[in-house]
Each structure stands twice: as C-alpha cells, then as structure tokens.
Amino acid sequence: MNAQPSLATERLVLRPFRMDDAASVAAMAGDEAVADMTLLIPHPYVVQDAVEWIATHAESFATGKSAQFAITERAGGTLAGSIGIDFVPRHAKAEIGYWVGRAFWGRGFASEAGRAVVRWAFEERGVERVESFCFTNNAASARVLEKIGLRREGLARGYVKKGTTRMDCLMFGVVRDEFE
C-alpha cells in the first residue's frame, strides 16, 4: 500500500503524525476534558504514551487497519488535534474518532477535518458506510457528527466500557448513497 496521504482543507492540513508531535499530543490528549470524552485515551497520558501510539501508525496504515491524521493548521503548521479512521473491510465500512486540543475548540476544526476524512474514505478507500459514536453527554461531538453529514441512528445502551463504567452511546452513520 502507498504511504499515507495528507489531506488539505481550507484551513487545515491532515497529515501523518511524526515522532516530534509526541509532546504536543501528550499535552492536549492529557487534558482531562479530552480524555473524559474519548474511549481510548487513558488519564494521565504522558509523552511516552504518545510515542508508543505514534509508533503504531505506519503499520496500521500499511495493513489497511486504520489511518491516523494529525490535524494541523494550514497557516503555521501548529498541531491542533487528531482524527482517526478504522476500516472494517469485511463490511466495507469505517469508523471515525477524533479529538481537538482545548485551546482550539469552537473554531470548526473537528467538523472541517471530519468532512475531509469522510470524503476521503468514500472517494479513495471505497467504503460504503462511515459510522461513529459518542457518549450521550458529549453534545459537542454529536453536533460535529451531524455537521459532517452523519445521521443520528440511535442510542446503544451500555455500548462500551470506559474503565469500569458501562457507557450509553449515541450512534451515527452515513451511507454512500446519502453522501453522494
């Protein structure tokens, strides 16, 4: 498989992570306000956690498992967050997940990045469905998902475990026909 591409939007460049992003990733993802709303970011989260996470990306992309993009500002290149997509080839579908550093919230970055990744998945990766979910108390993420064209499909009770707590989740998805 070719190297992971970068995706450019009006204000952002979504590019593969580099090892020198680790300190910024740890600072932003280590924020409890980010970790609380995500499934996979432990708290506390330190630079070594980010280094180990970034080290998995190349193989995950090469094997078609996932793509992780650093959300960076087009002007200046500052790292602002992360958006990832996991592929489920058997079902020709993919799942997106993202976070934005608190200092960058409310500027439309998650929505702008999300639109680009959904488009890339449909146009370049041949998926027929893109889905996502968020905790029921994550109104900002539910709004992002709606803004990028995923439709709210339902409530899955006790869908995941965060630590020892079962979490209800709102389910979102968009299928190819709707996207086109």
Ligand X SMILES: CC(C)(COP(=O)(O)OP(=O)(O)OC[C@H]1O[C@@H](n2cnc3c(N)ncnc32)[C@H](O)[C@@H]1OP(=O)(O)O)[C@@H](O)C(=O)NCCC(=O)NCCS
Interacting residue ranges for ligand X, rule: CB under 6 A: 34, 37-38, 98-100, 105-111, 134, 138-141, 143-144
Taking the complex as a whole, how short is the minimal distance between the CB of residue 144 and ligand X, in angstroms? 5
Taking the complex as a whole, how short is the minimal distance between the CB of residue 137 and ligand X, in angstroms? 9
In eight-state DSSP terms, residue 32 is H
**Nearer CB in complex with ligand X: 22/28:** 28
For residue 167, what is the enclosing H or E element?
strand 165-175
**Nearer CB in complex with ligand X: 2/165:** 165
| Pairs from 51-60 (Cβ < 8 Å, separation ≥ 24) | 51/19, 51/22, 53/25, 54/17, 54/18, 54/19, 54/21, 54/22, 54/25, 55/19, 57/4, 57/16, 57/17, 58/4, 58/16
Taking the complex as a whole, how short is the minimal distance between the CB of residue 2 and ligand X, in angstroms? 28
**Nearer CB in complex with ligand X: 58/138:** 138
Taking the complex as a whole, how short is the minimal distance between the CB of residue 65 and ligand X, in angstroms? 20
**Nearer CB in complex with ligand X: 58/136:** 136
